[in-house]
A and B are shown apart, each in its own frame.
Chain A
Amino acid sequence: MSSETPAIALDVRGLRMRYGARDVLTGVTFTMKRGEVLALLGPNGAGKTTTIEILEGFLMRSAGNVSVLGIDPAQGNEAWRARIGVVLQSWRDHRFWRVRELLTYLARFYAPFATAEVARPWDVDELIDVVGLSKSANAKIMTLSSGERRRLDVAIGIVGRPEMVFFDEPTAGFDPHARRDFQDLIHRLSDFDNTTILMTTHDLDEAEKIADRILVLDEGRIVADGSADQLASEFTTAAEVRWTSSGRRHVHAARGGDATSFVRDLLIQNDDVTDLEVRRASLEETYMTIVQRAESAQSRGGIPNGAAAKISDVRA
């Protein structure tokens, strides 16, 4: 291990997973730069959890090459484990423990893995404060609300100051306030500590707010890869233009998602246009378009790799 940190935190090539005769992942390929925040989006059963569990080293893949912080998770040793943070969904574990007690206990394991670059672990009281659990620091875990428990899950996931963090559905059960706090925490981790963050989510709005990049997974493959804006401009078939002219309301769907030229022509040709409105598809609509397009391509027997590649080209 050298002191220079490699630019690539995560490298996945041709990842496949098969349970019996069922293919869950059929060749997933993507990379993540250090400090990047990536949201893995997709419908239920798309393979999000399978992907993240392979990367966490909890599940053995069927085929493909995977490297997390330069190491294959299937061969990850304890020193590698110390650099990874996994946010699990707590349920009934450690219910008689107190918040500070459990974090202090877990923090002890990381102390010998401190390096010149990374001071491990977090100071427990500071961490409790950062995740907003100060009032419950001495509370028994069984008495926490579901939102507080998720905050504790996050604290446990990052107590060792990981260089790479995995969140599976991190904000399920969060109220809007907790959601905001969580977004602030993610930004803090990626901006100040250069932590690389991979999260799965159903929540498009959240993906848009938190992630630098969104990966859409459908039926075991990546169907889109790019920032929220890139996805919107690449995949939206139409932007909606509304205006009033001659006392009538008009609606036009501009093909290709760019309404600029249409609007220019419209204004040149009609000088009585009022109440002009241009509405780009929301990420949600884009997402639906992506998944539908992927699924119809699938049913025709074609694999829309071209779609994913297109976005990657834009990014590159």
Chain B
Amino acid sequence: MTTATALDTHRAAVLAGLSRGWIETRQSFTETAKVIVEAFFSLIYIAVLLMLRRKTMPGTDFSLAATVLPGLLCMSIIFGGIVGPSVSITAEREDGTLLRAKATPNGMLGYLVGKIVMVALSTLLKFVVILVAGIMLVNDVIVDARACLLLTLIFVVGMVATVPIGVALGSVMKSSLQAGLVPLTCGLLVIASGLFFPITVLPTWLQSFVQAFPVYWVGLGARSAMLPAQMVAAEIGGSWRMVEMFAVLGVWAAIGLVLAPVLLRRMARRQSGSAVAEVRARIRSKGY
């Protein structure tokens, strides 16, 4: 009798997960309901760039849109990496998708791989759409080899720092309603992290607070890649602080990579047919 090795079975699950990620990414471009949601934010971002196109920073002739573009790129990473997985994992726990994964050998591994692929691909697409639109619409941003390399690096590091956190949050949230707190919190952090105005105008305590989170650092990284050198004057300490940026994002990546599997496994352990049936009854009676 042949016995499957763990390597064979894990490989099958990872390959299945890759196909799952691809199928779900494809769905987000072919399903009208999904396309509308996906396109909504990209269109808003592009509209913002269009409106600020002719404006300049007060007291300078530097394009205001150029300072906003890195902020929008940062938002696409944060919303894609944290909000995307947390909201969808909570929803898929409630609709029974996770229970199906649990009933399948190594199904949770396949599910997780699929989720990462889907999140990475769809975030990358939005990132590229905003970047291309920005380059076409906005003057004063730098697009050279250094900028491309840095942006690639920041995208990759940004995803590694945020997706595990998103998975962990999605595993902890008790219901879809609670998971709604995640985009809200991210939105507040985005506002307070100086993506759209110089952070140095904020009170020092708030500056220190937001520097604990990935949003500020991904934003700083995007600005360091795309803005001319003299713009560094508007940053804390008058520096792009690359070392600190990679260090903080690295710490978040480490925290997320340790927590996500533990929390996901703990959450999956509690899934059963009756747990899903309870949610179904709740949603049928209360509507959420």
Query: A residues touching B (Cβ–Cβ < 8 Å)?
Result: 1-3, 49-50, 53, 56, 58-59, 78-79, 81-82, 86, 88-94, 96-97, 101, 105-106, 108-117, 156, 160, 168
Once the chains bind, are B277 and A89 in contact (CB under 8 Å)? Answer: yes
| B19 proximity list for chain A (CB < 8 A) | 105, 108
Task: With both chains docked as a complex, state the minimum distance between the C-beta of A53 and any C-beta of chain B, in angstroms.
Answer: 5
- Given A1-B3, A81-B104, A93-B92, A108 contacting B273 (CB threshold 8 A): no
Query: B residues touching A (Cβ–Cβ < 8 Å)?
Result: 1-4, 8-9, 11-13, 15-16, 19-20, 23-24, 27, 31, 34, 92, 95-97, 99-100, 102-107, 110, 271-274, 276-277, 280
- Cross-interface CB contact of A105 among B9, B23, B277, cutoff 8 Å: B23
Once the chains bind, are A109 and B104 in contact (CB under 8 Å)? Answer: yes
Once the chains bind, are A82 and B105 in contact (CB under 8 Å)? Answer: yes
A-B contact pairs, 22 of them (CB 8 A): A53-B272, A58-B272, A78-B9, A78-B106, A79-B9, A81-B103, A81-B104, A88-B100, A90-B96, A91-B95, A92-B96, A93-B96, A93-B100, A96-B27, A96-B31, A97-B23, A101-B23, A109-B12, A109-B105, A112-B12, A113-B4, A160-B104
Once the chains bind, are B4 and A58 in contact (CB under 8 Å)? Answer: no
Once the chains bind, are A93 and B34 in contact (CB under 8 Å)? Answer: no
| A94 proximity list for chain B (CB < 8 A) | 97, 100
Give chain B's interface secondary structure class.
Answer: helix
Separation of A49 and B278 alpha carbons in the complex (Å): 13
| A81 proximity list for chain B (CB < 8 A) | 103-105
| A2 proximity list for chain B (CB < 8 A) | 1
Once the chains bind, are A108 and B96 in contact (CB under 8 Å)? Answer: no
Name which of B19, B103, B107 has the most chain A CB atoms within 10 A of its CB. B103
Separation of A81 and B141 alpha carbons in the complex (Å): 55
Separation of A109 and B20 alpha carbons in the complex (Å): 12
Residue of A nearest to B103 (CB): A86
Once the chains bind, are A111 and B100 in contact (CB under 8 Å)? Answer: no
- Cross-interface CB contact of B105 among A53, A58, A59, A79, cutoff 8 Å: A79
- Given A58-B273, A92-B95, A92-B96, A1 contacting B1 (CB threshold 8 A): yes
- Given A92-B95, A96-B31, A109 contacting B274 (CB threshold 8 A): no
Task: With both chains docked as a complex, state the minimum distance between the C-beta of B87 and any C-beta of chain A, in angstroms.
Answer: 15
Task: With both chains docked as a complex, state the minimum distance between the C-beta of B27 and any C-beta of chain A, in angstroms.
Answer: 5
Residue of B nearest to A95 (CB): B95
| B280 proximity list for chain A (CB < 8 A) | 91
- Cross-interface CB contact of B13 among A79, A92, A109, A116, cutoff 8 Å: A109
Residue of A nearest to B15 (CB): A108
Separation of A94 and B27 alpha carbons in the complex (Å): 11
Separation of A300 and B171 alpha carbons in the complex (Å): 47
| A91 proximity list for chain B (CB < 8 A) | 95-96, 276, 280
- Cross-interface CB contact of B273 among A92, A105, A112, A168, cutoff 8 Å: A168
| B272 proximity list for chain A (CB < 8 A) | 53, 56, 58-59
Once the chains bind, are B95 and A93 in contact (CB under 8 Å)? Answer: yes
- Cross-interface CB contact of B1 among A3, A92, A108, A168, cutoff 8 Å: A3
- Given A78-B105, A108-B12, A168-B273, A115 contacting B2 (CB threshold 8 A): yes
| A92 proximity list for chain B (CB < 8 A) | 95-96
